[in-house]
Every structure is written in C-alpha cells, then in structure tokens.
Structure 1
C-alpha cells in the first residue's frame, strides 16, 4: 500500500466521477443508499442502544457505497447484497469492520458529550434523540456554541474514518492503522479535499436553487405542498447518493485503485 499525493484539481475530478458513475446506475446506487439509511434508521429506533448501533453501522454503509461505486465504474450493476459486503469478506475483516464501527460510535458520542458541556445536552438531544427544535432553542447561545463545537470536533473524526473502511476491506489493514493512514492521507491531500468539498458545496447549492425554482413553478400550477416536498426529498436523496458514490475515487487516488471486491463468503 502506497500513499499518493495528488494535485488540488483532482478534487474536481472526484466530484465529476461521482456524478458520472452515479448516472451509469442511478436506480441501483440510489436504492442501495436508501436501503443503508433505512437500516440505520431502524437500528436507531432500538431502545437505549439504538443511536449507538446506528452510528456503528455508518462505516459499513460507507463501504457498501464504495464497493457499489467501484462495481458501477467497471460496468457492473450493484445489487442490494452489497449492503452486507463488510460482513461477507471473511471473519478477520468482519471483526475489523465491527471494531471500526464501535470506534466511530464512541468517537461521535464523545463529540456529543463534549458539546453537552456547553448547553446541558440540548444539541445532543435534538441531534440524536429527535427532540423537537424550537426557534427559541435554536437561537440560544448555548445551543449554537454546542453546534459549532460539534462541527469543529467532527472534522478530525471524519478524516480519521474517511478512508478507513476501504483500507480495512481492500488492504486488510487493522482498524487502528486504518484510522492513522486515513487522516495522514487526508492531510497530505488537503488541497484536493478542499477543492472536493467546495465542488460538492457548489453542486448542492446549484441543485437547491434549481429545485426551489421548480417547486415554485409547480406550486403556481396548483400542485400541493406534498408533491413539492417529495421532489425536494427525492433530490436530497439523489445528491447524497452521488456524494457517497464519489468517495471511492478519493480512496482510489489517495492509495491504490481498489481491486474487485471479494466474492461473498471469501476473504
């Protein structure tokens, strides 16, 4: 395994590839992303441990989208069975992915715990517990301070886990080493990741403006708000699917091109 340093403009290429590969298999990739979110939502509904379990599943869901995007880029159709790819690539890798999930959940809950020091846990209860967000709460100084602290702390957590699922799955790296190599790769390619983030921000803003205009036109034609809400939700789901489709290309260029994923049940 060798770390590659790429120019900043590569960030634009990652964004372009994510969008282009998504449109090769839009139904399959969007359906897989929706299935990942549905499983995490069901897990979050479990009593007491639900939020932690849902968080622990995120690295596996990210890996499923990475493998699916790699499959689509090679002309194959991703299938829903890829949802379990993290748990069907051999016992060693399965245990490593479970460890990675537990570490992510612990890290995220630690971030929420630190934010609770600023607002007595209000932001954490809204974000994780589904507590209603009122205007009064949103405008409170403590809530805003907790929100910004959480965002600040989540950035290094995200960098630690950005490449980690791919390193565990394709390169059989241990979870702790995968976290180290992931953040090193992200920092060494900070220029490319900055361009990548700005490019996706531009895509989201442009899409949001286009959808808002379309919704306004449709509302003028007498269509209900329910239809408009469906259009906005569908667009958000599609954009999120595109974004996660692009993640594998950041991994490919930062390390080595991922090989075809192991067949189910094989290491």
Structure 2
C-alpha cells in the first residue's frame, strides 16, 4: 500500500463520481444508508451504553457504504447484507474493526466531555439531540466556545478515521496504523479534500434551494407531504456523500506495484 498525491481538482471528481454512482443504484444505496442509520438509532436506545455503542458502529457504517459503492461501480447490486461486511471478513479484521469502533466512541465522547467543561454540557446535549436549540442557547458565549472547541478537535479525529475502515478492510492494516495513515493521507492531499468539502457544500446548498422551492409550492397544495419530501431528500443527499467516500480512498492509496487497489466486498 502506497500513498498517492492527487491534484486539488480531484476533489470535484470525487463528488461527481459519488453522485453518478449513487444514481446507478439509487434505491439500493439509499435503503442501505437508511437501514444503517435506523440500526444505529435502535442501538442507541439500549440503556446506559446505547449511545456509545451507536458511535462505535459508525466506522462499520462507513465501510458498508464504501463497499456498496464499490459494488455499484462494478455493476453489481449492493444488498443489505453489506451492512455486516465488517463482521464477516475474518476474525482478525473483525477485531480490528471492533477496536476502531471503540476508539472512535471513546475519542468522540472525550471531545463532548471537554466541551462540557466549558458550558456544562449544553452543546453536547444539543448535538446529540437531547436538547432543542434555541436563540438564547445559540447566543450564549460559553455554548459558542464549546462548539468551536468541539469543531477544532473533531476535524483531526475525522481525518484519522476517514480512510481507516477501508485500510483495515482492503489492506489488512492494524487499527492504530490505519488511523495514522489515514491522517497523513488527508494532510498530504489537503487541497483535494478541501475542494471535495467545498464542492459538497455547494451541491447541498443548490439542492436545498431547489427543495425549498418545490416543498414551498407543495406545502400550499398538500401540506403534509412537504416535510416528508425534505427528510427523504436529506437522506438521499447523505447517502450520496457516503457513496463518494470510496473514491477518496481509491485515489489516495495504491497497491505496492503502483496499481489502483481492487475494491470489492471481500
């Protein structure tokens, strides 16, 4: 496995490939993403440890979408069984993915804990859905400080975990090394990832404006359906985003002989 350096414009190509691949199998990929989110939501209901377990499943969800996107690019139908791909590729990789999930949960909760030292846990409660955002909360200086601290700490965390599931699954790299290689790959290709993020922001904003117009018209005709359209569209856009992640992985790493890695569910 070798790190590849790509030009900044590649970030736009990753977005295009993600959108195009999603529309090859839109129902399958959207359903897979919905099932993954629903599963994490159910797990979060487990008393005491539920939220931590749900966080620990996020790397597995990311891997499932990466594998599903790889299957779609090769003309295969991504089935719901891919949700279990992290659990059926051998004991060594299973242990590695479990370790990765636990590390993510611990790191994320540590960030929330640090933010709670500033504002007493208000930001953590709002972020995790335990409290409704209000104008008073948003304008609270302590809340804002906790928010910015969390964002500053979460960026390097997300970079470390961005490629880690794929490195474990396709290259068999141990969790800690996978985190290190993922972080380095994102830093070395920072231009492409910056363009990637900005391109998705523009795409989301454009889709949001169109949806707002459509739902505004529908709301005056059939009020009850407008909200459902917004939620469904948001889920589809999120599924598109996760579909594009596999292309960032494919172009950031190559096989030892310089070839692109062959991505599959195995």
What is the TM-score when the length of structure 1 is the normalising length? 0.95
Q: Which residue of 2 aligns with 1:176?
A: 176
SS of the residue corresponding to residue 45 of structure 1 reads coil
Q: Which residue of 1 aligns with 2:185?
A: 185
Q: Which one of 243, 249, 252 corresponds to residue 251 of structure 1?
A: 249
Q: Distance in 1 between matches of 2:218 and 2:133?
A: 29
Name the stretch that deviates more: 115-124 or 181-190: 115-124
Q: Which residue of 2 aligns with 1:261?
A: 264
Pairs within 5 Å for 1:96-135: 96-128=96-128, 130-135=130-135
Moved >3 Å (runs of 4+): 260-263
Unaligned runs of 5+ in 1: none
SS of the residue corresponding to residue 179 of structure 2 reads helix
Pairs within 5 Å for 1:1-267: 1-128=1-128, 130-220=130-220, 222-224=221-223, 226-256=224-254, 257-261=260-264, 263=266
Q: Distance in 1 between matches of 2:6 and 2:132?
A: 44
Q: Is the 8 A contact 1:86 1:93 kept in 2?
A: yes
Q: Is the 8 A contact 2:70 2:246 kept in 1?
A: yes
Q: Is the 8 A contact 2:67 2:265 kept in 1?
A: no
SS of the residue corresponding to residue 199 of structure 1 reads helix
Unaligned runs of 5+ in 2: 255-259
Q: Is the 8 A contact 2:43 2:53 kept in 1?
A: yes
Q: Distance in 1 between matches of 2:187 and 2:263?
A: 27
Q: Distance in 2 between matches of 1:133 and 1:8?
A: 36
Distance 1:262 1:234, change over 3 A: closer
SS of the residue corresponding to residue 7 of structure 1 reads coil
Shift of 1:131: 2.4
Q: Distance in 2 between matches of 1:47 and 1:258?
A: 41
Q: Distance in 1 between matches of 2:171 and 2:67?
A: 13
Q: Is the 8 A contact 1:51 1:128 kept in 2?
A: no
Q: Distance in 1 between matches of 2:42 and 2:171?
A: 31
What is the TM-score when the length of structure 2 is the normalising length? 0.95
Q: Distance in 2 between matches of 1:246 and 1:139?
A: 35
Q: Is the 8 A contact 2:71 2:265 kept in 1?
A: no
SS of the residue corresponding to residue 238 of structure 1 reads helix
CA RMSD of aligned residues (A): 1.1
Q: Distance in 1 between matches of 2:27 and 2:234?
A: 15
